[in-house]
């Protein structure tokens, strides 16, 4: 899953099984699901996690690498959605354009998640469907 291996400080290196398991765990899979996917015993995975700090450090390092890639993708998606949304605010796009509706839904589920029921986020093109304002 990664271009180059990430290893914790020191001379420890993961086995092939540990490397495969670590990639699933770093991607957010549970130990149980990882065991099923990799055919590595759940007890082995749990022992590696609980008794080998190097393995845990390896998984956490991979998670950081994966999340760094996701962060930039998310930031780019937000910028694109905001650009589409602001075109509708300025009249350069129709508010009922499917792209504007999709951008609005994306922003509501990500950037505007802290908006409470009945609140209208700054610049919302139309009030919520239930009429609460």
- pLDDT tens column, 29-74: 999 999 999 999 999 999 999 999 999 999 999 999 888 888 888 8
Could you tell me the end-to-end alpha-carbon distance of the chain, in angstroms, rounded to an integer? 46
Please compute the mean of the pLDDT values over residues 107-112 and round it to a whole number. Answer: 84
* Count, residues in the chain: 133
Angstrom distance (rounded) from CA 69 to CA 85 = 25
* pTM for this predicted structure: 0.56
CB atoms within 10 A of CB 37: 12
Q: Which residue in this structure is represented by tokens 């899979």?
A: 29
Angstrom distance (rounded) from CA 85 to CA 81 = 6
Question: What confidence category does residue 102 fall into, taking pLDDT thresholds of 50, 70 and 90?
Answer: very high
């Amino acid at each position: 899953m990664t271009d180059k291996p990430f290893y914790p400080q020191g001379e420890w290196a993961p086995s092939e099984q540990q490397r495969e398991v670590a990639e699933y765990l770093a991607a957010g899979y549970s130990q149980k699901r990882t065991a099923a996917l990799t055919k590595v015993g759940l007890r082995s995975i749990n022992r590696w996690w609980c008794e080998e700090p190097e393995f845990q450090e390896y998984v956490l390092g991979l998670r950081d690498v994966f999340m760094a890639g996701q962060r930039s993708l998310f930031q780019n998606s937000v910028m694109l959605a905001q650009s589409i949304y602001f075109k509708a605010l300025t009249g350069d796009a129709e508010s009922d354009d499917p792209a504007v509706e999709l951008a609005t839904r994306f922003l509501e589920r990500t950037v505007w998640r802290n908006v409470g029921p009945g609140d209208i986020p700054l610049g919302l093109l139309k009030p919520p469907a239930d009429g609460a304002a």
